Amino acid sequence: MSNPRIEVDLSKIRSNTQTVVGLLKARGIGVTAVTKAVCGHPAIARAMLDGGAAGLAEARLSNVKRLRQAGITGPVTLIRTPMLSQVDDVVQVCEASYNTEIAVIAALAAAALRQNAVHGIILMVEMGDLREGIMPQDLGGMALQVVDMPGVALKGIGANFACLSGLAPTAEKMRALSVLANDVEGQCGPFLQTVSGGNSANLPWAFGARATGRINDLRIGEAILLGVDPITGDQIGGMFRDAFTLFAEVIETDSKSVRPLVNCADHTLARIQLVPDTSETKRIILAIGHQDTDAAGLSMPPGNTLIGATSDHLVIGTKDAALCVGSEMPFNMNYGALMRAMAAPEIQINLRNDRPLPIARDAYGPSKHLTLV
């Protein structure tokens, strides 16, 4: 088979979606499935929708267009603040968008009027992640301006956590967001259809003992795709971690020392992780590198250790005597590695097993589990 490649098990993505949707439904929360990590891959998006996701969310307009060109007609929300240069296209292909700038919202309104449409606006609030968001004290004033604009409709508010600052959502933060939703309705009048509490990092909170308040939506990508809690990296009970497997081909095996023989002026090489120089460990090179994925975000079968990577070579220390030139090595990926690999032009995407699988398992032996029940 072609290498490097990603084997995508659509049945596991569908199963993971069904699990998350079912558990959150019991708490009064719907799921908007985020497809940005898979570059808006239509088959993966359909698996999420088949699993019960209420709609899709994307950060890049090119990915939304890919979804539309593939025939996906359901609601798609742009979750990154639209660029002024793209407002006409945003209105054309997205039912709604997350926004923080009144100038952008005004441009979206003008574009919607030109297209005889109404574009939905969800206002993103800064709740501590320090990425995008309107300061809470300014939210009511901006909401009033949106309500008065023809061409757009205020559909809701949202918040983000555990992205830029790593700040995990707390019950206190979620209560504050619910209060803001009530305050905005009190000031502006219209009912907020969507109060989006965050992303996959919100799942432990969502299944805590306390009430979920006004939160009725979560934007879920990582948990569906990888079956893990983004904060701890623990597997979520009942979900698959191995819906995506990256394969790379061995192009060299040798007995070179794993330790550098001379001093090197490149300070970045100080990050290389060396494996012991023993007769039990051999060194192999695979045809994949930084241009293809995040080497630090790869995990592999036991007995193999990352030595280092360059733009197009991955160097591994292994105790597997059977590995030879032409052999394949499978890798699990974290979210960062998955995003880069799915976008890499040299990596082939293979879809398989498009049928239900009832029982989740680990890809490479036992692991910790995060049980959200």
> Mean pLDDT across the chain, nearest whole number?
90
Based on the number of CB atoms within 10 Å of its own CB, is 178 exposed (0-12), middle (13-18) or buried (19 or more)? middle
**CA–CA distance, 241 with 40 (Å, rounded to integer):** 20
For residue 261, pLDDT beyond 60: no
**Gap between the Cα atoms of 160 and 41, Å rounded:** 24
For residue 244, which of 232, 227, 219 has the smallest C-alpha distance? 227
Q: What pLDDT is attached to residue 5?
A: 98
Helices (H), the chain: 10-25, 42-50, 61-69, 87-93, 102-114, 136-147, 171-188, 203-206, 222-226, 335-343
> Which spans in 207-267 are helix H?
222-226
SS3 126: coil
How confident is the model over 134-151, as a mean pLDDT?
Answer: 97
Domains of the chain: 9-228 (3.20.20.10), 244-352 (2.40.30)
**pLDDT value of residue 263:** 44
Confidence at 139, pLDDT banded by 50, 70, 90:
very high
Is the pLDDT assigned to residue 347 strictly greater than 50? yes
**Neighbour-count burial of 109, counting CB atoms closer than 10 A to its CB (0-12 exposed, 13-18 middle, 19+ buried):** buried
Closest CA to 174 of 209, 225, 146: 209
Read off the pLDDT of each residue in 307-315 and give the average, rounded to a whole number: 97
Tell me if 283 sits within 8 A of 47, measured CB to CB.
no
Q: Are 331 and 246 contacting, i.e. CB atoms less than 8 angstroms apart?
A: yes
Looking at per-residue pLDDT, the higher value among 321 and 313 belongs to 313
Confidence of residue 257 (pLDDT cuts 50, 70, 90): low
Q: What is the DSSP letter of 27?
A: T
Predicted local confidence at residue 207, as pLDDT = 86
Give the N- to C-terminal CA distance of the chain in Å, as an integer.
40
Given this model, what pLDDT does residue 275 score? 45
C-alpha 57/C-alpha 63 separation (Å) is: 10
Confidence at 356, pLDDT banded by 50, 70, 90: low
Q: Is 79's pLDDT higher than 70?
A: yes
Give the pLDDT score at 351.
97
Distance between CA 141 and CA 46 in Å, rounded? 38
Q: What is the pLDDT of residue 254?
A: 81
Residue 21 CB partners (closer than 8 Å, separation 6+): 30, 31, 51, 52, 53
> Which long-range contacts (C-beta less than 8 Å, at least 24 apart) are formed by 200-204?
200/224, 200/229, 200/230, 201/161, 201/162, 201/168, 201/169, 201/229, 201/230, 201/231, 202/161, 202/169, 202/174, 203/20, 203/229, 203/236, 203/372, 204/229, 204/231, 204/370, 204/372
The amino acid at residue 361 is R
| Confidence at residue 355, expressed as pLDDT on a 0 to 100 scale | 64
Of the listed ranges 193-202, 234-243, 248-257, 305-314, the one predicted with least confidence:
248-257
Report the predicted TM-score, pTM, of the whole model to 2 decimal places. 0.90
Helix/strand/coil for 55: strand
pLDDT tens for residues 43-73? 999 999 999 999 999 999 999 999 999 999 9
- Residue whose token pair is 């019960």: 52
